[in-house]
Amino acid sequence: MPPPANPNSIERRPLGRTGAMVSPIGFGGIIVMNESERDAREWVAEAVARGVNYFDVAPGYGDAEERLGPALAPYRSDCFLACKTEKRTGPEARASLENSLRLMQTDHFDLFQLHAITELAEVEAIFAPGSVMDVLVEARREGKIRYLGFSAHSHRAAMLAMDRFDFDTVLFPFSAKTWHESEFGEAVHARAVAKNMGCLALKAMAWRKWPDDLPAAERRWAKAWYEPIDDPDLATLALRFTLNLPVASAIPPGHWELFDLALRLAESGALRNPLTAEEEAQLFGALNEGEPVFDRGAAR
């Protein structure tokens, strides 16, 4: 079992050069996707009471914006709210931003991110004249966005994006699983740190792809497209690896139970110290089981 909670004991970490201080465990909007309004309200209230101030959502997360917006509204001024867009043209990105602001019941996002950049052609489209970046920079001038970032699952796309614009943050699979299997993320992290960007982590609790022959109905964690780490001891090692790279905040898989596990570990102080060589070997050995979460080609 994870250690008992110690409310409000989690430290805040600097988010790169932004000046913002964020909780090391972030609340991903998928947690409230397809959940009741009551559960969404209760979970958000509990997360805030326990010291969480980093919240992340996206239009692609089903009805997460509809659920998270009202639930977060009473605490909005005390929270750092991040949103995203998958759109790759200027008009579509503007419409996406405005709709997300409406659903999230806010007049601005603290961080707005280009979502899931994968191909080099996407980066070129995003930076075409009059396209997405022009729209987002204008929205920042309007006060609807404070900081600009991106998320990516591709090493090459992430590196090119950082070459093309002085982003404030990067959201990337900074995880023991991907780091160990293909050095996926190491160069991206080094570049971001050198540029004093805020590093945010996806997949810190990722273990392996779900087996192809395992029916969806039998997958314990239905909202995760990969099999997450749910063993407390292994989760401790995995989160310690990521948070001591360093990373400002890690977003657990989109189930309340897994978020609660990660938060309890943070509250207990169990995530503060870097792994020893023996612990790192133990973690990598356990993660060797099963299929890689990402195609190895993504590291190129």
Residue 172: domain span: 18-291
- Residue at 30 is within a domain: yes
- Residue at 198 is within a domain: yes
Residue 67: its H or E element: helix 64-72
- The pLDDT of residue 296 is 57
Mean pLDDT lowest among 25-39, 132-146, 181-195, 245-259? 181-195
CATH, residue 278? 3.20.20.100
pLDDT higher than 80, residue 6:
no
Give 86-118 pLDDT, tens digit per residue.
Answer: 999 999 999 999 999 999 999 999 999 999 999
- Which SS3 state, helix, strand or coil, does residue 102 take? helix
Which band of pLDDT confidence, cut at 50, 70 and 90, is reported for residue 2?
very low
Which band of pLDDT confidence, cut at 50, 70 and 90, is reported for residue 295?
low
Q: At what angle do helices 232-243 and 256-268 cross, to 10 degrees?
A: 70
- Residue at 5 is within a domain: no
- Residue at 10 is within a domain: no
pTM for this one? Answer: 0.94
- Residue at 8 is within a domain: no
Pairing of strands 198-201, 249-250: parallel
- The pLDDT of residue 200 is 98
Residues 244-279: b if buried by 16+ CB within 10 A, e if exposed = ebebbbbbbbbbbebbbbbbbbbbbebbeeebeeee
pLDDT higher than 70, residue 185:
yes
- Residue at 1 is within a domain: no
Give 195-233 pLDDT, tens digit per residue.
Answer: 999 999 999 999 988 888 888 877 899 999 899 999 999
* Domain count for the chain: 1
pLDDT higher than 70, residue 3:
no
- Residue at 233 is within a domain: yes
Mean pLDDT of the chain: 93
